[in-house]
Amino acid sequence: MHRLRDLGAQVPGAPEEVVDSRVPPHDLDAEGAVLSAVMVDPSAFAKVKDFLLPEHFYSEAHRRIFEACVEMTSKDKPIDIIQVATWLRDHDRLKQVGGMAYMTEVLNSAPAVANVRAYAKTVYEKWRVRKFIHACQEATATGYVGYGEAQPFMERYLAIFENIVWVDRPAGRHDAVKSSGDAGGNEGR
């Protein structure tokens, strides 16, 4: 029988809860491939910026590196390993991500830069599933400890689930990550 752990228990570097020591869905290779592509090819960031955000990364180190890329791009600064490392160092985060040694390891993950959007979509979809799992855990925990009236409780979590499934995408980015299976008329939801 599976029991929910204390909702405060976390995997180091990850904000989501763990059930019976199971690690939430993620793909560190895809995360590294996105970061490598973005630091190798100046045009790669433009291919993912319409839907990928730092919080979509499971790894705290990867989240910080991508956050640096987002911030640098917003200030029209070039993105490469030296520029990103400098930004991280200037913001006292380089050691948090593992230093230059880890930055070099990420850079050497050598993805096919042309596939950066596919890697980013994998990162994004894993985040959505983690968010859905978290909402399910929260609903379960609330259901056991005091949910109040049944109908408002269920409606609240139904709205949260629907938001994750249909709406929970950064503003204006719904179509950017829509898969071919979404074409069944769910656009208005």
Higher-confidence residue of 11 and 15: namely 15
Q: Give the CA radius of gyration of the chain.
A: 18
Do 110 and 48 belong together in one domain?
yes
Do 90 and 152 belong together in one domain?
no
Residue 166 has what pLDDT? 84
Residue 176 has what pLDDT? 43
Domain end: 120, 142, 160, which one? Answer: 120
- CA 140 to centroid of chain Cα atoms: 23
Indicate which CATH number applies to the domain containing 106: 1.10.860.10
3-state secondary structure 119-149: HHHHHHHHHHHHHHHHHHHHHHHHHHHCCCC
Q: Which residue has the tokens 């600064």?
A: 77
Q: Lowest-confidence range among 6-10, 38-42, 81-85, 166-170?
A: 6-10
Domain count, the chain: 2
Whether 16 is in a domain gets the answer no
Do 82 and 116 belong together in one domain?
yes
Do 53 and 73 belong together in one domain?
yes
Phi, psi of 19 (to 5 degrees): -105, 120
Is residue 13 a contact partner of residue 50, using CB atoms and an 8 Å limit? no
Do 57 and 108 belong together in one domain?
yes
- If you average pLDDT over residues 129-153, what whole number do you get? 94
Domain end: 120, 139, 164, which one? Answer: 120
- If you average pLDDT over residues 51-72, what whole number do you get? 97
Domain limits at 156?
Answer: 125-178
Domain end: 120, 148, 170, which one? Answer: 120
Do 58 and 84 belong together in one domain?
yes
Residue 169 has what pLDDT? 56
Do 110 and 34 belong together in one domain?
yes
**Whether the predicted pLDDT of 183 surpasses 90:** no
Do 143 and 167 belong together in one domain?
yes
Whether 23 is in a domain gets the answer no
